[in-house]
Chain A
Amino acid sequence: MAAPGHAEPTPRTYWLIALFLGVITAIEVAVAYVDALDPVIAPILLTLSAIKFGAVVGWFMHLKFDRKLFRGFFLFGLIGAPLLFLVVLATFHALV
């Protein structure tokens, strides 16, 4: 449920977002098979993945419409995860 004062998205919006997610997934798979994009494949795929991630969290999980504190709780973990990755890399001397 959205925070007070915020309108909930309609089922039509949810269907459109699902269609959008399906299209992005198809693009991801297609891009992965294009050899010419090999040098830039990682940033392209990670960007597309981030867009899908944001769409699900923002609309399906209603975080876009929910309280800022909830956003903070989730972002804390979300930012903590890559930081943890850096710590793991540093621990194994794999940063350089």
Chain B
Amino acid sequence: MAEAVVHDVLGDGHGEHGADHHDMTYTRKAAMWVFLGSECMFFGALISTFLLYRSETRDGPTATEIFDIPFTSASSFILLMSSLTMVLAHHAFHRHDMRRARIWILATATLGGLFLAGQIFEFTEFVHEGLKLSTSPFGSSFYVLTGFHGAHVAIGVIMLLGMFVLSLSGKLNHHEGLNVELVGLYWHFVDIVWIVIFTVVYLLQV
């Protein structure tokens, strides 16, 4: 199968080294998509759990009482725009425009950091209003779901900052385009998960 794939990618007349490189590119991208598919299942399980327990608030506050939709909408917009800056970083990298790629990578990491800061602020507010991890099944499922998403964003920000530092030291050049693409795929995935969470967990509950 690998030979067919390489032939498909390269056509005839390419050397063995080029074939190996493209074979590896294909394999790594395929592995990333398999990983993202499995992540869909992971977040699917967490969202299912939230939907199952969303009305079990016990003595704690309900979603309608504590959710601040305008604030979360602004956070969602920030994360959406980070997907734009990420794809622009990838595009600039692909065109060997390292300076612009660096700017967009840093912009993406900054927007991710802003989203995380918003989430920490939101969690702090909720705790002050009486919703803790152990308050109710609603609280537990909400914090576990949004917390895991936040952890994914944090990992993404670390990877982006790592890429930025590597590019400054010249260790990330245009030959490393696949690494940027894979980090980009991960980042966009984090964004699409939030698109679902924002609708299902926030908008549909108020």
**In the complex, per-residue mask of A40-52: 1 if CB is within 8 Å of any chain B CB, else 0:** 0110011011001
Given the known inter-chain contacts A32-B203, A81-B40, please indicate yes or no for A52 contacting B195, CB distance below 8 A: yes
Q: Which residue of chain B has the shortest Cβ distance to A63 in the bound complex?
A: B33
The tally of CB-CB contacts under 8 A between chains A and B is 128
**In the complex, per-residue mask of B75-87: 1 if CB is within 8 Å of any chain A CB, else 0:** 0110011011011
- Complex Cα distance A53/B43, Å? 15
Chain B residues lying within 8 Å of A1, measured Cβ to Cβ, are: 94, 177, 181
Chain B residues lying within 8 Å of A73, measured Cβ to Cβ, are: 30, 33-34, 36-37
Interface residues contributed by chain A, number (CB under 8 Å): 46
Give the distance to chain B from A26, nearest Cβ to Cβ, in Å.
8
Give the distance to chain A from B159, nearest Cβ to Cβ, in Å.
16
Cross-chain pairs A/B with CB under 8 angstroms, 18 sampled: A8-B94, A14-B87, A14-B88, A21-B80, A29-B73, A29-B203, A46-B199, A48-B199, A56-B80, A56-B188, A56-B191, A60-B84, A66-B29, A70-B30, A77-B41, A80-B41, A81-B41, A89-B52
